[in-house]
Amino acid sequence: MRLFAGLALPWELKERLAGLVGGIPGARWVPPENYHLTLRFIGEVAPFEAEEIDHSLAVLRGSRFALTLAGIGTFAKGGRDTQLWAAVAPNPNLQHLRGKVEQAVQRAGLEPERRRFIPHVTLARLDNAIPAKLAAFVQTHNLFRAEPVEIDHFCLFSSRLGKEASVYEVEVEYPLV
């Protein structure tokens, strides 16, 4: 089972993000139903490991908070853009929750995450995107800002490879108070 901990986004925000997409030939756009914010990628685990992760996340206590998406950016690897994403406005409560999730999955036996946490919502994969079109898209949408949304839970998601895109399913919801 392939897992990650993350934030499910309300449909209204997904629709707003979906309204941005298009205009970059070669981009593989993420379907709106797959928009989420990853707190911690876990990867492939055995059923008993998934149960340990669930137990560890279930005892985590965190506070509700408002989340605001603001800005558009890209990730690059080897000098080539690989992902297009919507940025998250700085948020200490999100950072705190992310730290607690990291501690919980380590208690469940996972190795520490080595990558720096950059909260974002992936909009597209950029295998063969035309650089000039990508630059124009980012420039056009760099002032994007969505209304804040209330985050009152986080989730443990499973991920299965599908024909067109991965299929994400919420396995467990954990409340924030």
Phi, psi angles (nearest 5°) of residue 120: -165, 165
Stronger pLDDT, 21 or 165, i.e. the higher one:
21
> What are the residue ranges spanned by the domains of the chain?
2-175
Specify the pTM. Answer: 0.95
Percentage, residues of the chain above pLDDT 70: 100
Residue pair 7/40 in contact by the 8 Å Cβ criterion? no
Express each pLDDT in 116-148 by its tens digit: 999 999 999 998 899 999 999 999 999 999 999
Dig out the tokens for 171 from the structure.
């396995």
**Position 103 pLDDT exceeds 90:** yes
Compute CA 133 distance to the chain's CA centroid, rounded to the nearest angstrom. 24
Whether the per-residue pLDDT at 161 is higher than 90: the answer is no
Which residues are marked as active site? 36, 120
Residue 163 has pLDDT above 90, yes or no: no
For residue 162, pLDDT beyond 90? no
Our CA dihedral for 104, 169, 126, 129, rounded to 10 degrees, sits at -160
Q: Which residue has the tokens 């970059």?
A: 24
CB atoms within 10 A of CB 16: 19
Q: Which CATH superfamily is domain 2-175 in?
A: Cyclic phosphodiesterase (3.90.1140.10)
